[in-house]
Amino acid sequence: MSTESIVEIKNLVKYYGQKQVLHGINLDIQPGQIIGYIGPNGAGKSTTVKILCGLIDDFDGDVKVLGKNLRTEQTNIKKQLGYIPENAALYESLTPLEFMQFVGRMRAIEEDVIRSKAEALMDIFEMKSNLNQRIATFSKGMRQKVMICSALLHNPELIFMDEPLSGLDANSVIMVKEMLIHLAREGKTVFYSSHLMDVVEKISDRIILIDQGRVIADGSFDDLSRLANDENLEKLFTRLTGNTNHGERAEAFINAFEK
């Protein structure tokens, strides 16, 4: 396996109008790893992922994905990316098969390959029987599964996941976790953005914690806990992002009702 970086971010800055959301992110990511990308709400996690996937074009800084410049070779990069967005936006009136056929054809995958892969992937999630039903009738978890399947259809080198487990039942969560580990073992890189600390803690080779658009911690869980002496990621997270008075706040919440 090459040790060349698969993602290389130098001084990434992003504004929404006047508001600065990313204050110079620097990252080097090696292939074959699962990267846990965590941070509080509004820290800039989704924005980073969207920039890396080519959803947001206007940013400052240098970004290289798969050794190619994101600005100039976006289309080539996209061929090897899989993206699972946070809020599963799907074409509701299509069926999963039709949706995957669309995505597959756009990626110039052959017709019979699409069909067999779609069936195989959906079968893993025990959704093969739903292949020809309208997505509009699906639950959130089912939609999320369709999303995951369609993002993996072309066997991407680099997979971006934005809160991929939201809405999934316990069995599916375990399944996805296992799947991620397998993918990483095959040399795929997974960039995993999430709030679920325990999942991140268990599967990530490397954890990157950002807050207010800056990287504030970076390393394997062992590295981080050695530095900080926290027994789990949740504690570390709350300490670094500066919210320690949860008890008081919860109490205030109750008080608000009693007024």
Partner 1 sequence: MIKILLSLFRPFRWFIERMGADYDQFIRILELKLTLDDRRTRGINKTNTNSSEISNTILKQSFSQIIMGVMFAVVVMLVKSQFTFFFMMHIVLMIMMAMLIISEFTTILFDTSENTIIQPLPIAGNTQSLARNAHVFLYLALIAFNISVVSIVMAIVKFGIISGLLFLVSILFNVLFTLFMANILYLGIMHLATGEQLKTVVMYFQIVIAVLFMAGYQFGLNMIDRSKILDMTISLHWYSYLMPPVFFSGFIEAISTGTFDLKHILFIIESLIIPVLAIYLTTKYLTPVFNRKLLNLEQSDKATKVTKSSGKITGYYRIIEKIFTRRHEEKAAFRLAWQMSGYERLFKQAFFPSLAYVLVMIGVNFFKHDQTIESLQHSQRYFIIMYAFVLISFTLTTAILLGNNRQTEWIFKVLPAVSPADYFKGFIKAVFLRFFTPFYLLVGIGIAAFWGVSVIPDILIAWLSIYMLTLIMFYIQHPQFPFSNAKSASQGGTSFVKVMGLMLVSGIIGYGHYFISSKLGIYGMILLIVLYSLGILLVNRIWVYKLITWEKIDSYNSY
Nearer to partner 1, 56 or 124 (CB): 56
Choose the binding region for partner 1 from 27-35, 102-110, 180-188, 194-202 (rule: CB under 8 A). Answer: 102-110
**Among residues 81, 161, 190, 203, the one that binds partner 1 under rule CB under 8 A:** 81
Residues 6+ apart with CB under 8 A from 156: 80, 81, 82, 188
Nearer to partner 1, 153 or 208 (CB): 153
Nearer to partner 1, 34 or 49 (CB): 49
Binding mask 106-135 for partner 1 (x = CB under 8 A): xxx-----------------------xxx-
72 lies in the binding site for partner 1 (CB under 8 A): no
Quote the CA–CA distance of 239 and 194 in Å, as a whole number. Answer: 18
Nearer to partner 1, 92 or 178 (CB): 92
Binders of partner 1 in range 30-69 (CB under 8 A): 53-58
**Among residues 4, 62, 92, 123, the one that binds partner 1 under rule CB under 8 A:** 92
| Burial call 122-157: b when 16+ CB within 10 Å, e when fewer | bebbebeebbeeebeebeebbbbbbbbbbbbbbebb
Q: How far is CA 207 from CA 34, 39, 42, 58, in A?
A: 9, 10, 18, 26
**Among residues 102, 124, 175, 235, the one that binds partner 1 under rule CB under 8 A:** 102
Contact 195, 163 (CB under 8 A): yes
Residues making up the chain, counted from first to last: 259
* Side-chain half-sphere exposure of 88, counting CA atoms within 13 A: 26
76 lies in the binding site for partner 1 (CB under 8 A): yes
Quote the CA–CA distance of 185 and 161 in Å, as a whole number. Answer: 17
Nearer to partner 1, 79 or 226 (CB): 79
E strand residue ranges, the chain: 7-16, 19-29, 34-38, 60-65, 68-69, 81-84, 158-162, 189-194, 206-211, 214-219
71 lies in the binding site for partner 1 (CB under 8 A): no
98 lies in the binding site for partner 1 (CB under 8 A): yes
Nearer to partner 1, 43 or 233 (CB): 43
Contact 163, 132 (CB under 8 A): no
CB of 251 to partner 1, least distance (A): 28
238 lies in the binding site for partner 1 (CB under 8 A): no
167 lies in the binding site for partner 1 (CB under 8 A): no
255 lies in the binding site for partner 1 (CB under 8 A): no
Dihedral over alpha carbons 23, 27, 33, 39 (to 10 degrees): -20
13 lies in the binding site for partner 1 (CB under 8 A): no
Residues lying near partner 1 in the complex (CB under 8 A): 16-19, 53-58, 75-79, 81, 83, 85, 89-95, 98, 102-103, 105-108, 132-134, 136-137
